[in-house]
Structure 1
Amino acid sequence: MEYKDTLLMPKTDFPMRGNLPHREPQIQEKWEEMNIYKKVQERTKDRPLFILHDGPPYANGDIHMGHALNKILKDFIVRYKSMSGFCAPYVPGWDTHGLPIETALTKNKKVNRKELTVAEFRKLCEEYAYEQVDSQREQFKRLGVRGDWENPYITLKPEYEAQQIKVFGEMAKKGYIYKGLKPVYWSPSSESALAEAEIEYQDKRSASIYVGFNVKDGKGVLEGDVQIVIWTTTPWTIPANLGISVHPDLEYSVVEVSGKKFVVATDLVEAVTKEFEWDNVATVKKVKGLQLENIVAKHPLYDRDSLVMCGEHVTTDAGTGCVHTAPGHGEDDFIIGQKYGLSVLCPVDEKGYMTKEAPGFEGLFYDEANKSITEKLKEVDALLKLSFIKHSYPHDWRTKKPTIFRATAQWFASIKDFRSDLMDAVKETKWVPAWGETRLFNMVRDRGDWCISRQRAWGVPIPVFYGEDGLPIITDETIDHVSNLFREHGSNVWFERDAKDLIPKGFTHESSPNGIFTKETDIMDVWFDSGSSHQAVLVERDDLQRPADLYLEGSDQYRGWFNSSLSTAVAVTGKAPYKGVLSHGFALDGEGRKMSKSIGNVVVPSKVMNQLGADILRLWVASVDYQSDVRVSDNILKQVAEVYRKIRNTFRFLLGNLADFTPDQALDVKDLREVDRYMLVKLNKLISKTKASYENYEFAAIFHAVHNFCTIELSSFYLDFAKDVLYIEAVDNKERRAIQTVLYETLLALTKLVAPILSHTADEVWSHIEFVSEESVQLVDMPEAREVDQAEEIETKWDSFMSLRDDVLKALEVARNDKVIGKSLSASISLYPNEKTKQLLESVEESLKQLFIVSGFEISGNYEDAPEQAQSFGQVKIVVGTAEGKTCERCWVVSTTVGVNSKQPTVCERCASVVTTN
């Protein structure tokens, strides 16, 4: 007889190897065929809504690891919510306007803008944007992200633009929108104004100059032979200087050096002395900043006055305490200039070149002008010191080139009138991590007005008409009309038609008695686009609602989408657009460096999926502390793949050992052995912990809990000793059915618990479970923890036993290394426990030989009675020897009963009974 044919070995078609790069696309095709998104929504349609509103990625280029991290995290949450009592629709979106698409066409596609009208160029931008959306959509779907991919929101769609116009109109109606001449971040490389969210800081080498301004009218406080010393790192702004700012409460010293007199803040005299390498410095006079107010100095280059003003923004952190003030090139400069009635001089054009308002430097690029201006200051003996410093400087986040502050006529959203409402909304929102509240609160508290206009072609037009007097016209009638036009024709109609064809029919306005109107040509900041999504998506669509339950984006969006969405929503509704905000860090390489093509350390999602599979990427996302910056590398992903392999093998074992089991054969909990109930207790704890972790967005806790459950509770203990029952005993043996009952519970629960994370693998497992009726695990709910009587007592007892078992396994390993035994089944162990451990062992009704996976076991005496050769542990001493008897040919246990049955001479008595009976 071939005894191996009598064993009840695992049987399953579920493959050991995942082969995910090949199998996942097949699973996704099945999802497409069954329209899984629609089926999930239909199943949950009568439940309360949970809305995770997608922050739109920019539609340009392939997705990167940051995209993958973000979309997978969202998918975890949406999938979990739809399995836990909610209807959780997920509508993905794309941000599609702005400079990168214009640049892609002109540089990459070689489109000549000069040969096209604005409308024609915008049409090409639209076509390109849709191409990018289609490309990114397929990549996101390949990640296994479930959503309404056929009906996403896209910021260039007519219905979206129509709602955006409504948001703008409502803000204008409340007086929050205005046009004004103010200095804003300006990008010469983009030839456009920028919002704060479009600024990033990089190191830049700049000239550092100290300049002396001769006093022209000292107002009886300063003599005419005194110079007021300023410091700046932007020499190109000197031609725009109209004043000098001092702090009213600071003390200033007039110091004399080599017959010359200079004014410097007293607190900075020592630092300036060191910088200038002065000797024999004498303090001639000390005055308060307030005493210097309205003193007039002479501009060092031009026949022009420079007024001394008092400003609270002046500090002694660096420089001289006397601040060079050019109202056309700085926010603080502008504000104090307005207070003192200065004009707004801005002698730099939109491309960054000096204009005729900077005599002597006209035509020079502002950065090149630094040298010429510095040389001129030296020539007129106004340059006191020149050096160079490396410092953090604002750059255009798109072109990566330096920006400047430049005063231009722009459209602004003023938040001062509802700033307190914004701060209240921040406080009412739940922030994860908690520091997000402080971060955004401080931003709102400190931010100035929002520049929302851009001098570009590709974007949503600012829907403003101008009358014959040049004043802007924004009325309910014009806003509604333009919104309806955009909904019907798209925003390109603004550039295809003249103002007279865009104005409402029969519209009249007192500013245009002759009925002549012109239109604004600027477009809106793209952050106004995406920041309007709470209305253009959450209100526009019937399957969503405002406010959303959750916004989830990278930590850079505190100054971006979280901020712009809050501003527009509070302005329009008085409330935040979200109930909660969750943020994640950035994806870095394995050494914690930013990914860069030049360094060659970029990990590409598509490459990972082609080599390892999307579920490995998803499991990596679950494994990291995503609220901080996260690391990813080939080596890290290989480690994750190893964890995946263990989880997959666990599923395969569970499936294989349930091949001859049906749910109606499951035993009642009270009929299970204590060790089986112990495993149900552990399973229940896993269910509770995992669901709580999902609720708190703690995915790394789920990763570790599932991994530990599979490798420690199951693989290293329960499944390990269960093989002796599952394979060896008769098919209907009660102990075997007890174990199968636990495996059945575990298989269903574990598949459901990992479904949001290992979306493909969970569905693959589900398809191999014969006793489920649902066609996908996505169409069931999370498992409920099962009641087990005396769960706490059982767990306490068996946790203690597990600790003892660890000691036994260590003793067996030592004996194996010492060549005392081979496999553990060849061993016999003698235990010398302390009294507490002895009571524990005596209370275990299950076969201790099975639990320890040895062929011989006995309690040979008390702890103190152990022989010298015994291995000593805290609770027990152990002697490992070889078991007596012969090895059973069927179960491999060493037994003295082998050969007792003459008809089955090579097997033990247990196996002979099973074989004979069956």
Structure 2
Amino acid sequence: MCADQTETPDYKSTLNLPQTDFPMRAGLPKREPEWLERWEQIGIYDRLRDKAAAAPGSRAPFTLHDGPPYANGHLHIGHALNKTIKDMIVRSHQMMGFESRYIPGWDCHGLPIEWKIEEQYRKKGKNKDEVPINEFRAECRNFAAGWVDIQRDEFKRLGVTGNWAAPYLTMDFHAERVIAEEFMKFLMNGTLYQGSKPVMWSPIEKTALAEAEVEYHDKDSFTIWVKFKVATARGGAWDPLDGPRPDDADLSASNLKDLVGAHVVIWTTTPWTIPSNKAVVYGAGISYGLYEVTSTPEESWVNVGDRYLLADNLAADVMTRARLDEGMWTRVRDVTTGELAGLSLLHPLAGSEGSDGEWDTPRDFRAADFVTDTEGTGFVHCAPSHGMEEYELYRDLNMLQEVITYNVLDDGSFRPGLPFFGGKYILNRKGGEGDANKAVIDKLAEVGGLMARGKIKHSYPHSWRSKAPVIYRNTPQWFAAIDKTVGDGQDMHGTTIRQRALTEIDNVKWTPKSGRNRLHSMMEARPDWVLSRQRAWGVPLTCFTRKGLLPTEDDFLLRNAEVNARITAAFEAEGADAWYEDGAKERFLSGIVNPDDYDQVMDILDVWFDSGSTHAFTLRDRPDGTDDGIADVYMEGTDQHRGWFHSSLLQSVGTTGRAPYRQVVTHGFTLDEKGMKMSKSLGNTIVPEKIVQQYGADILRLWVAQTDYTADQRIGPEILKGVADSYRRLRNTMRYLLGALSHFKESDRIDPDQMPELERLVLHRTAELDVRVREGYAAFDFQGVFQALFNFCTLDLSAFYFDIRKDVLYCDGDSVERRAAHTVLDLLFHRLTTWLAPVLVFTMEEVWLERFPSEGSSVHLQDMPDTPQDWRNDALAEKWTRIRRARRVVTAALEIQRTAKVIGSSLEAAPTVYVADAETLAALRSVPFADICITSDITLTDADAPEDAFTLPETEGVSVTFGKAEGGKCERCWKILPDVGTHEHAGTCGRCDAALS
């Protein structure tokens, strides 16, 4: 007998509504430090290592070797991007079943840190050179140690996991010992040599710089056109060093007499190199002419009757620079390169009063393959002490002894005895324009050596530390010869360092693949490695030279294993400071060789050699390193193709014959929202600390996961708002999971083959996604992984599966559908939390602990669950693709009615769906399509649809007409059904009545 409908009870308490304390608002900035503290307490990183140790051989090792940042300042957004990507790599591989190790490290030596101490000295009026060297080094060490501690805390705040208790530091005593040992291998295998060649030199910092220590900025430079007078015609005297005798040469002096007294014109943007000029070169394939001035303006450095040798393509431009209009000059005749080969030139300062004969020797004049006629004059002035191309030209000609000069001192000033210019500075002490260029230009004008002058803005190398321009300066340095046969020459990867490096590049996997070509081209073209720096804070070049011998003589370098062993033992116990202690030379040499016969080298190693050697003392020597001393992956910014990737490869192939890495991953640079480079002057910098304070580290990490890090990426307030919105949607998905699972009991679990089609579809998608996630993480494709997971959570789950199954989960009793849904939600929970944990380290921990709050519990101690591939059912997925397309038409049609306020809820509707395709209609009839569309009823028909039926253009053959549901509204599930009110429990439908019973 039915209950009185006027006494309908409140059924809300009978529903299985989601229950969770998981907040909708994350409060990440406040809560994240709590999880960091908890991880510290339970020792997450060590517990993962213990997990692997407890089952030897069960987990394949995977090691990411950390490229060391400099320990000298707070983190910038590039640091955050870099370390977050590394952390995602390490965590994802750990959760995929690897023993994934990460040892953070720091570069602690070198110019950046030394420069900071010098800045402090300058503020105090203190002279670095007056401080005992080991006292100065101690200050550098303390400075670095302080910043290591600061940066470590900042990295940990980003959620980065690793062996933070025992990082590697290049200034640790053992590290300094190994760096010295690795250098000694170059010493002993014959690739180390001392040479004098142009290197990039910082006059401000008084040291050679590596390419990776240089950045390019626009610079205004003086530019001058300088006249070299044709002094004599050499006639038939042909120098074999000039190459084959030109076929068109008629070198009799009489045929060249009209060229004597003319001027060859050169163009340069470095006037200060003119005093070091030793030659002029021309291009063998360039068309040249003899040009004569016929009239001049009032102010000019040229005279009527002057004759100039110029490349034809550039002659008009040069004349314009000299203020000569068209008609003020004429072309006299062709000049062949054969004729040029018969000339000799005078330096513009030759014979000038007070020059003391400094420039009186005729300049060398020959062809060179680096001369072009695209800019300048078609002739190039050569100062081989200040230009690499010129240096290599005369090196190959065995003429360096005749053309190398030492006119520029380490502070960028001219040597005191240089006529006219002694003591002049190329740069002032703050890195600005010195007085050398002006002095040279003024002197050239005075002696009639100048044809024109001007200024040019061009990209120019600057020290990345002092921001001051650098110069090319010839100076004695120590080099590793990369084209010399190493040791006995027996090596399957090549007999030279360059050959080995080029071979190994192709044995490495590159992400993106363009990284291979970038490094390969650099390695093909690079010169010998400059190992030495004229600084104090670093690992010294631990070698001795024999007094009285030249660098080219066999016994110039002391190669003695016993001496090497003494040095390395001292470094292990005392650090590299031992090299600088009083009596160090005697300590290391006495009893083995006579110390008085040798000089101790006091240069330090290029800091890139330090970082390039880190594989040896981190991967090879540590118990948490690797068995073969090779890392599975190196991951840094794309600039490290010329930096750490480059130096690590050179160092490793030079000592072991193979690369220190199996894979190399690179990321781009971080720009502002407009795509502009960040700079303090523009005020567009984004500081990680500020993002963490406002949003939390997980938002920053999610930004990293959403970007294509292999290219340059953008960040800014609007972008971060979008990231935060994506985060909220994911968080709501996880919150719903937690709430729904509050009613789950293990006894509810059922097997997939017992589940309705909808659950089996979700399992199919889960199995598909498991493959995508694992493949994506293995390929370091975090953007692809996140996008797949985000779409799954928002489209497949929140907007589809969760929406449909709310009714079953809330209202059903112990039905198969409800048990199946609970089982699927539990399976999803374990997968989503572990799939997302490498990205959202804090949030997934919060989600996990909400469900499993036991002491010591952590999602980061879990692996991604194995997902059975027999969940895959492509035929079922194809069927449900049809069903979901039809559902979209129904929901779109109902949304129009809801917007028009015809209905308030889809449960008030009972639409009719017209389906033209028989297979689609059969699919819809085989499932509870009304439940799938969240309507109280639905009619499916193959009849022709009315003309006014609703359709979607992208879904042909499905039309919908609206109809209201008939019957009463169930007070428990809110469906409108004819049977409501006919059951024992007042105001309920049959399903709800059964559940209440």
TM-score band w.r.t. shorter chain = over 0.9
Q: CA deviation at 1:517?
A: 4.0
The more displaced of 616-625 and 316-325 is 316-325
Q: CA deviation at 1:287?
A: 4.3
**CA RMSD, aligned part only?**
2.1
2:167 is aligned to: 152
Is 1:289 aligned to 2:289, yes or no?
Answer: no
Q: CA deviation at 1:589?
A: 1.0
Q: Is the Cα–Cα contact under 8 Å of residues 765 and 872 in structure 2 kept in the other structure?
A: no
Q: Is the Cα–Cα contact under 8 Å of residues 11 and 659 in structure 1 kept in the other structure?
A: yes
Matched to 1:400, the amino acid is K
| CA distance in structure 1 between the aligned counterparts of 2:924 and 2:693, rounded to whole angstroms | 55
1:7 is aligned to: 15
| CA distance in structure 1 between the aligned counterparts of 2:795 and 2:69, rounded to whole angstroms | 41
Q: 1:159 to 1:270 in 2, by over 3 A?
A: same
Which of 522, 529, 534 is residue 455 of structure 1 equivalent to?
534
Which of 345, 368, 386 is residue 329 of structure 1 equivalent to?
386
1:550 is aligned to: 633
Q: Is the Cα–Cα contact under 8 Å of residues 616 and 644 in structure 1 kept in the other structure?
A: yes
The more displaced of 479-488 and 11-20 is 11-20
Is 1:104 aligned to 2:116, yes or no?
Answer: yes
Is 1:260 aligned to 2:260, yes or no?
Answer: no
Q: 1:906 to 1:22 in 2, by over 3 A?
A: same
Query: Residues 575-614 of structure 1: matches in 2 within 5 Å?
Result: 575-614=658-697
Which of 851, 858, 861 is residue 932 of structure 2 equivalent to?
851
Identity %: 40
Which of 412, 417, 439 is residue 479 of structure 2 equivalent to?
412
The more displaced of 245-254 and 757-766 is 245-254
Q: CA deviation at 1:498?
A: 2.5
Q: What secondary structure sits across from 1:473 in the alignment?
A: coil
Q: What secondary structure sits across from 1:492 in the alignment?
A: helix
2:811 is aligned to: 728
Q: Deviations over 1:293-344 (max 9, x none)?
A: 4732111124323211332222223212211111211112222334234231
2:143 is aligned to: 128
Q: CA deviation at 1:501?
A: 4.0
Matched to 2:850, the amino acid is H
Q: 1:840 to 1:351 in 2, by over 3 A?
A: farther
The more displaced of 443-452 and 263-272 is 263-272
1:534 is aligned to: 615
1:760 is aligned to: 842
1:564 is aligned to: 647
Q: CA deviation at 1:211?
A: 0.7
Q: CA deviation at 1:38?
A: 1.1
2:243 is aligned to: none
| CA distance in structure 2 between the aligned counterparts of 1:852 and 1:819, rounded to whole angstroms | 19
| CA distance in structure 2 between the aligned counterparts of 1:80 and 1:790, rounded to whole angstroms | 23
| CA distance in structure 2 between the aligned counterparts of 1:836 and 1:363, rounded to whole angstroms | 96
Q: 1:243 to 1:868 in 2, by over 3 A?
A: closer
Q: Is the Cα–Cα contact under 8 Å of residues 160 and 536 in structure 1 kept in the other structure?
A: yes
Query: Residues 125-204 of structure 1: matches in 2 within 5 Å?
Result: 125-204=140-219
2:4 is aligned to: none
Matched to 2:993, the amino acid is A
Is 1:383 aligned to 2:463, yes or no?
Answer: no
Q: Is the Cα–Cα contact under 8 Å of residues 555 and 583 in structure 1 kept in the other structure?
A: yes
Matched to 2:894, the amino acid is L
| CA distance in structure 2 between the aligned counterparts of 1:863 and 1:481, rounded to whole angstroms | 96
Is 1:862 aligned to 2:942, yes or no?
Answer: yes
Matched to 1:825, the amino acid is L
Which of 492, 504, 525 is residue 446 of structure 1 equivalent to?
525
Q: What secondary structure sits across from 2:223 in the alignment?
A: strand
1:233 is aligned to: 269
Q: CA deviation at 1:398?
A: 1.0
1:910 is aligned to: 991
2:891 is aligned to: 809
Q: 1:412 to 1:823 in 2, by over 3 A?
A: same
Q: What secondary structure sits across from 1:720 in the alignment?
A: helix
TM (norm. structure 2) is 0.88
| CA distance in structure 2 between the aligned counterparts of 1:370 and 1:736, rounded to whole angstroms | 86
| CA distance in structure 2 between the aligned counterparts of 1:696 and 1:833, rounded to whole angstroms | 43
Query: Residues 684-703 of structure 1: matches in 2 within 5 Å?
Result: 684-703=767-786
Q: Is the Cα–Cα contact under 8 Å of residues 49 and 86 in structure 1 kept in the other structure?
A: yes
Q: Is the Cα–Cα contact under 8 Å of residues 87 and 838 in structure 2 kept in the other structure?
A: yes
Is 1:831 aligned to 2:916, yes or no?
Answer: no
Q: 1:241 to 1:868 in 2, by over 3 A?
A: closer
Q: 1:306 to 1:863 in 2, by over 3 A?
A: farther
1:355 is aligned to: 415
1:62 is aligned to: 74
Which of 459, 462, 481 is residue 566 of structure 2 equivalent to?
481
Runs of 4+ aligned residues of structure 1 deviating over 6 Å after TM superposition are: 771-774
Q: Is the Cα–Cα contact under 8 Å of residues 294 and 309 in structure 1 kept in the other structure?
A: no
The more displaced of 145-154 and 489-498 is 489-498
Q: Is the Cα–Cα contact under 8 Å of residues 232 and 345 in structure 2 kept in the other structure?
A: yes
The more displaced of 360-369 and 733-742 is 360-369
| CA distance in structure 2 between the aligned counterparts of 1:636 and 1:783, rounded to whole angstroms | 33
Q: CA deviation at 1:10?
A: 1.0
Q: Deviations over 1:738-785 (max 9, x none)?
A: 111111111111111112111222222222334999822222322323
| CA distance in structure 2 between the aligned counterparts of 1:696 and 1:4, rounded to whole angstroms | 49
Q: Is the Cα–Cα contact under 8 Å of residues 66 and 634 in structure 2 kept in the other structure?
A: yes
In structure 2, list runs of 5 or more residues that go unmatched.
1-8, 236-250, 295-304, 352-359, 427-433, 485-495, 550-555
Q: 1:293 to 1:540 in 2, by over 3 A?
A: farther
Q: 1:293 to 1:508 in 2, by over 3 A?
A: farther
Q: CA deviation at 1:863?
A: 5.0
TM (norm. structure 1) is 0.95
Q: CA deviation at 1:502?
A: 3.6
Matched to 1:641, the amino acid is A
| CA distance in structure 2 between the aligned counterparts of 1:771 and 1:683, rounded to whole angstroms | 26
| CA distance in structure 2 between the aligned counterparts of 1:396 and 1:241, rounded to whole angstroms | 25
Aligned residues: 908
The more displaced of 339-348 and 202-211 is 339-348
Is 1:17 aligned to 2:102, yes or no?
Answer: no
Q: Deviations over 1:223-262 (max 9, x none)?
A: 3211111110011111111111223444432233332221
Is 1:402 aligned to 2:469, yes or no?
Answer: yes
| CA distance in structure 1 between the aligned counterparts of 2:293 and 2:922, rounded to whole angstroms | 91
Query: Residues 571-720 of structure 1: matches in 2 within 5 Å?
Result: 571-720=654-803
Q: Is the Cα–Cα contact under 8 Å of residues 687 and 785 in structure 1 kept in the other structure?
A: yes
| CA distance in structure 2 between the aligned counterparts of 1:842 and 1:480, rounded to whole angstroms | 82
Q: What secondary structure sits across from 2:166 in the alignment?
A: coil
| CA distance in structure 2 between the aligned counterparts of 1:427 and 1:248, rounded to whole angstroms | 37
Q: Is the Cα–Cα contact under 8 Å of residues 202 and 395 in structure 1 kept in the other structure?
A: yes
Q: What secondary structure sits across from 1:215 in the alignment?
A: strand
Q: What secondary structure sits across from 2:314 in the alignment?
A: helix
Q: CA deviation at 1:369?
A: 1.9
2:600 is aligned to: 519
Q: CA deviation at 1:438?
A: 1.0
Q: CA deviation at 1:682?
A: 0.9
1:425 is aligned to: 504
Is 1:29 aligned to 2:37, yes or no?
Answer: yes
| CA distance in structure 2 between the aligned counterparts of 1:481 and 1:188, rounded to whole angstroms | 35
Q: CA deviation at 1:601?
A: 1.2
| CA distance in structure 2 between the aligned counterparts of 1:92 and 1:833, rounded to whole angstroms | 61
The more displaced of 868-877 and 6-15 is 868-877
Q: 1:473 to 1:842 in 2, by over 3 A?
A: closer
Q: Is the Cα–Cα contact under 8 Å of residues 885 and 897 in structure 1 kept in the other structure?
A: yes
Q: What secondary structure sits across from 1:348 in the alignment?
A: coil
Q: 1:202 to 1:294 in 2, by over 3 A?
A: farther
1:820 is aligned to: 902
| CA distance in structure 2 between the aligned counterparts of 1:242 and 1:771, rounded to whole angstroms | 79
Q: Deviations over 1:782-813 (max 9, x none)?
A: 23232446701110011111111111111111
Q: Is the Cα–Cα contact under 8 Å of residues 863 and 876 in structure 1 kept in the other structure?
A: no
1:497 is aligned to: 582
